[in-house]
Chains A and B, each alone.
Chain A
Amino acid sequence: MRRREWLERLKIPLMLAPAFLVLIVLFSGGLVVGLGQSLGYMPVIGLNEFTLHHYADVLTNSNFLQSLWVTFYIAFTSTLLSTVIAIPCALVLRQAFKGSRFATFIFQVPIPIPHLVVAFGIVALVTQSGVMARVLASIGLLSEPGQFPVMVFDRAGVAIQMVYLWKEAPFIGLVVLAVLRSVGTEYEELAQTLGANRWQRFRYVLLPMIAPAILSTSIIVFAFVFASYEIPLLLGVRFPTTLPVWAFQLYQDPDLSLRPPAMAISVILTIISIMFLITYRRVARYAIK
């Protein structure tokens, strides 16, 4: 009997332990080392003291502010556009109509496609000699590639945003669709019998019900785009680039003394991400209420 009790007691910790071990050990190990380096502790090149001057350097660097702005701007516009496109799509797809199953399937296609594949597809479409330029040429709107606007390796990061838009709009849209389906149409029907017209039903009945889901999904998307590096690395200008890319570039530099500032940027990034996380949980908790 005692033995069984012990086994019962151990069951839960045992179930959680492996995951815990792998993640916490790996992850926090990396975090701790990174943190150490950001604070200037890099015995391998002889820096044995903790200092905050790397943070100070980074934060006062004018490049930092520009980078921060670029990162923020790309994340913000990508998220905004994705949300703006996702909501009408979800509203249309929630009803069953001829072809709605096909449409919903198409809408889901971007979800599992790797970002790099998307990047190439977008590039093939929107470079100055890409398919879109050629379509315009075939209807006579332009005669040479140079006339097509620059969207790749441009300061505004248009191609980058297109990639994120293509990937994230369906993500937001599907979550909103799931919420719309679980909410059902009854509230709106009720409002209809009380005299509310189309717009009133959307604004006063539906929107409040889907707003929390929209908000929390947007925050996730924003945090993700903010922290990602592959696409800006691939399709963006060398300078000014996003914070994650800059950190990565510094890290890969053969000059090891650039590592501490690289890690400092990374830590600052992490802090900002955690702030997003907290905001997300607040919103989610409010939504559940």
Chain B
Amino acid sequence: MKEFWRWVFIVLMTVAVMAPLLVQIVWSFAFRWHFPDLLPGEWGLNAWRYVFSDASRVGEALVNSMSIALVVSLLSIAVGLPAARALALDDFPGKGAIEWLLLIPILVPGVVTTMGIHIAFIRLRLADTYLGVVLIHLIPCIPYMILVMTSVFASYDTALEDTARTLGASAVRTFWHVTLPAIFPGLLVATLFTFLISWSQYVTTLLIGGGRIITLPMILFPFISGSNNATAAAISLIFVAPALLALVFTSHSLAKEPSILGGFGRM
């Protein structure tokens, strides 16, 4: 009896989760799909053809989204990793305050910060620039990276490094051969999700990029409330691709390392 209800639960949950995604796959291949048809009356690749054409600017947006997210991720690692390590493994005066301060950016509404920064950027001539967009993305990304990596470092044993040092390894070699492999799984997941945070940014890019820097979400946005569902679906599927990839790589860690979930509002 219990088993039956469990099956009902699994089916319902699967439908609820997969329906919004599957419907988009169908829409992207639909040429004519009107009410009340349950499947497209006419299939067609025109949405995809449009999306891959120059007119849609999807290519340009894809390159922008990808490169910005990559740069932001790398910067987040470079900046966040040492900070996370210091926070997790060392004790120093003012630590609590600094922890707070470093995490505030994710807790204060993005609207607020972005608008204020926009004004500052205008003056600094960073508005409408690639660099400006990268910087604004760093605001939600760095704290997230710090959050997850602090948790990863907390369960890390420095005794491993001490052993390596006493065996004659230099600081750099110790990092490469001992520290990095040990934190790698957590780092990988944190990086993937930091990438996704930047990838999913919409209003921040819109404001700071001023419409000059085009990213995928900016192209997708107007289509969602428009009437061209097929094109919206195609763009949406391209947009969701990295997220699905991340899912495949990280699903087993999500249950083990709950701090990873810490950023999830921000996508």
B36 in contact (CB, < 8 A): yes
Question: Is the pair B203, A248 in contact by a Cβ cutoff of 8 Å?
Answer: yes
Known: A31-B112, A106-B13, A174-B254. A19 touches B83 (CB 8 A): yes
A15 in contact (CB, < 8 A): yes
Nearest-neighbour CB distance to chain A for B127, whole angstroms, equals: 12
Question: Is the pair A125, B20 in contact by a Cβ cutoff of 8 Å?
Answer: yes
Q: Which residue of A lies closest to B256 (CB)?
A: A178
Q: Which residue of A lies closest to B193 (CB)?
A: A112
Interface residues of B in 204-258 (CB under 8 A from A): 217, 220-221, 223-225, 229, 232-233, 236, 239-240, 243-244, 246-247, 251, 254-256, 258
Q: Count residues of chain A with CB under 8 A from any CB of chain B.
A: 91
Question: Is the pair A267, B254 in contact by a Cβ cutoff of 8 Å?
Answer: no
Question: Is the pair B109, A15 in contact by a Cβ cutoff of 8 Å?
Answer: no
Question: Is the pair A124, B229 in contact by a Cβ cutoff of 8 Å?
Answer: yes
Of the candidates B9, B86, B110, the one whose C-beta lies within 8 Å of that of A16 is: B86
B45: chain A residues within 8 A (beta carbon): none
Cα of A114 to Cα of B146 in the assembled complex, Å: 21
Interface residues of A in 85-126 (CB under 8 A from B): 89, 92, 97, 99, 102-125
B265: chain A residues within 8 A (beta carbon): 168, 171, 220-221, 224, 228
B247: chain A residues within 8 A (beta carbon): 108-109, 111-112
Q: Residues 60-91 of chain A: 1 if any B CB is under 8 Å from the residue's CB, otherwise 0?
A: 00000000000000000000000000000100
How many pairs of residues, A versus B, come closer than 8 Å at their CB atoms?
269
Question: Is the pair B21, A121 in contact by a Cβ cutoff of 8 Å?
Answer: yes
Nearest-neighbour CB distance to chain B for A9, whole angstroms, equals: 10
Of the candidates B78, B111, B240, the one whose C-beta lies within 8 Å of that of A266 is: B111
Nearest-neighbour CB distance to chain A for B163, whole angstroms, equals: 20
Of the candidates A16, A109, A234, the one whose C-beta lies within 8 Å of that of B82 is: A16
A178: chain B residues within 8 A (beta carbon): 255-256, 258
Question: Is the pair B229, A23 in contact by a Cβ cutoff of 8 Å?
Answer: no
Give the contact stretch, choosing among B54-62, B135-143, B154-162: B135-143
Q: Which residue of B lies closest to A131 (CB)?
A: B23
Interface residues of A in 236-274 (CB under 8 A from B): 244, 247-248, 251, 262-263, 266-267, 269-270, 273-274
Known: A35-B116, A181-B255, A244-B109. A134 touches B138 (CB 8 A): no
Q: Residues 124-162 of chain A: 1 if any B CB is under 8 Å from the residue's CB, otherwise 0?
A: 110001010111011000001100000000000000000
A contact residues vs B (CB 8 Å cutoff)? 12, 14-16, 18-20, 22-24, 26-27, 29-35, 37, 89, 92, 97, 99, 102-125, 129, 131, 133-135, 137-138, 144-145, 166-168, 171, 174-175, 177-178, 181, 220-221, 223-224, 226-230, 233-235, 244, 247-248, 251, 262-263, 266-267, 269-270, 273-274, 277
For the complex with contacts A133-B35, A233-B203, 5 further pairs of A-B residues with Cβ separation under 8 Å are A22-B79, A30-B118, A111-B264, A123-B224, A137-B36
Report 28 cross-chain contacts, Cβ distance below 8 Å, ordered by A residue: A15-B86, A18-B78, A18-B79, A19-B79, A23-B143, A26-B138, A27-B105, A34-B116, A99-B10, A103-B9, A106-B14, A108-B255, A109-B247, A111-B254, A114-B199, A116-B224, A124-B23, A125-B23, A131-B19, A137-B36, A138-B38, A174-B258, A178-B256, A228-B110, A230-B202, A262-B115, A266-B111, A273-B108
Nearest 4 Cβ contacts at the A-B interface? A121-B20, A34-B116, A30-B117, A227-B109
